[in-house]
Structure 1
Amino acid sequence: MAPPLEDSLLAAEEARRLAMLAADMAALDTLLSDALAYTHSTGVIDSKASYLQLLAGGALRYEALEFVAPQARLVGTAGLVSAVMRATVRKGEVRRDIASSYLAVWEHTASGWVLQAVQATALPAQTS
């Protein structure tokens, strides 16, 4: 019995997380739409080409990456995943901890799920 589409969508999102963490260009090339719009929590927007270039060249590196409590919802052929992202990234010599809420928009195609867009919003800094 095939898993429900929500399960396969969450599996695609986990594959994306692992590929980002490993800077796996081949996996990301398959998962990301050529028309990708990736809006980071800083407001910077990357296309598929510019995002992959950052990762491939080492200008952006995920040292730690966690998607907390991802939830999937289907709307026609679209799949929406919302979660909190906690990451430690290195951009050049600058190391930064990130906490953001995000929405990922996936399209279900004949070959599987393809990421079309990500919109991230920075979470307020935690105070102790």
Structure 2
Amino acid sequence: MIKKFLVFSALLCSAVFCNAQNAQLEAAVGKLTRLMVTPDSLGLDSILLDNLSYGHSNGGLQSKPQFMRSLLTGASDFVEIDLTDKQVVIQNKIALVRHTLSAKTNDKNIPGKVKLYILLVWSNEKTGWKLLARQAVKVPEK
């Protein structure tokens, strides 16, 4: 009986831990999305790892300072972002988050729309989930 209780307790604690991890990761994804629409340097600095690799659908690649600068100067200007089709895999301290990003943009004061498949790679650090890498691919037109 005690063995069954210990196994049940371990499974319950594991489920609670996983739910907490998922909630914290979901909050980090939400924070990143909000910061892409309304960027601020302290917020971005707090959620991005220093060795960030940020890949664009056009093949461009940015470091953390380059990505932050593009958002803060309006060179990359997201007016509205909608995330759908979210898939999450957590493996130890790394999480893969896939989703479809649909956005209204205003890059360099030119209105536009974009639809991308996104892969985010998050690292669970002492201070919470931090973005390590991002890669975007254009959604094929039908």
TM over 0.5: yes
5+ long unaligned stretches in structure 1: none
AA aligned opposite 1:61: D
Stretch moving more, 86-95 or 116-125:
86-95
Deviation at 1:4, TM superposition (A): 2.4
Confirm or deny: 8 A CA contact 1:85 1:100 kept in the other structure: yes
1:26 matched to 2:19? The reply is no
TM-score in terms of structure 2 length: 0.82
AA aligned opposite 2:87: Q
| Higher radius of gyration, 1 or 2 | 2
Deviation at 1:44, TM superposition (A): 1.0
Deviations 1:42-67 (A, max 9, x none): 21111110011111112221111111
AA aligned opposite 1:115: L
The separation in 2 between residues aligned to 1:66 and 1:93, in whole angstroms, is: 20
Relative contact order higher in (CA < 8 Å, ≥ 6 apart): 1
Deviation at 1:69, TM superposition (A): 3.0
Stretch moving more, 3-12 or 105-114:
3-12
Which of 87, 92, 103 in structure 1 is aligned with 2:119? 103
More strand by share: 1
Secondary structure of 1:43's match? coil
Confirm or deny: 8 A CA contact 1:23 1:61 kept in the other structure: no
AA aligned opposite 1:65: I
AA aligned opposite 2:75: A
TM-score in terms of structure 1 length: 0.90
Output aligned runs, 1:39-58, within 5 Å.
39-58=55-74
Identity %: 26
Q: What RMSD over aligned residues (CA atoms) do the two structures have, in Å?
A: 1.5
1:78 matched to 2:97? The reply is no
More helix by share: 2
The separation in 2 between residues aligned to 1:102 and 1:57, in whole angstroms, is: 23
